[in-house]
Amino acid sequence: MADFTGKVGLIVGVANHRSLAWAIAQATSKGGANLILTYQGRFEEHVGELAETLTPKPLVLPLDVTNDDEIAAVYKKIQEVHGGLDFVVHGAAFASREEITGRFLNTSRDGFKQALDISAYSLIAMARGAQPLMAARGGGSVLTLTFLGSDRVFPNYNVMGVAKAALESSVRYLAADLGPENIRVNAISAGPVKTLAAAGIGGFSSILGVVREKAPLRRAIETSEVGDAAAFLLSDAGRGVTGEILMVDAGFHILGM
């Protein structure tokens, strides 16, 4: 188990108990981390109930990642309560149903902007806010979540694939920019798993079935496997890793057909 004793971590993107961000919260909390969980709008009750199950009990704060004032308020509160920050998990992503159900050709300008803002630019905004709090502690780790649809075409993924490609490129540029301050930036590319976000993808069950049939491990992944991989990257055990996209997908990404 990764040791997070004395570490402070911010986790963005928990929606319910199936969220990958929640699996990461469980893994890091188990290692002793003091966590701050954020919620967006209607998920306040869900996140609050989940927070009650962790020890030590996390601070729970509202956050709309498209609002710079709310981002600043979260980091100000962390500074006041904890005095610094050791890691950030960015699990925010969104594209409207209209943008992922039709032809990619018909992607709207507003839908494109929204998907890229929430799913990719927000990583930059979150890293920028975290930078002084991490630098004051001698470094830190930033982790985001992506998917193979950034590199290959999946049905009904559409503009989210473009957003994830931008997200992965942002990981590399941020890693290069923040590396001199001993701040690492990585991503986990998780295989398909039944989350709230996945429920919005048409034909998701078919995608999951193909993975179970074809992946080298002949199964889909479990959220706990993402949590454990994240704990490695966020902890001192991953101190030499930055700018990396770690595949946690039962090996599906290595296949040609």
Active site residues: 157, 164
Dihedral angle sign, alpha carbons of residues 117, 119, 121, 123: positive
Q: What distance in Å separates the CA atoms of residue 249 and residue 192, rounded to the nearest whole number?
A: 7
Bridge-based pairing state of the strands 34-39 and 183-190? unpaired
Q: What distance in Å separates the CA atoms of residue 106 and residue 153, rounded to the nearest whole number?
A: 16
Q: What distance in Å separates the CA atoms of residue 70 and residue 159, rounded to the nearest whole number?
A: 26
Residues 6+ apart with CB under 8 A from 139: 181, 182, 183, 184
If we measure between CA atoms, which residue out of 183, 182, 80, 176 comes closest to residue 126? 183
b/e 206-237 (16+ beta carbons within 10 angstroms → b): ebbeebbeebeeeebbebebbbbbbbbbbbee
What 8-state DSSP symbol labels residue 35? E
Strand partners, 61: 38
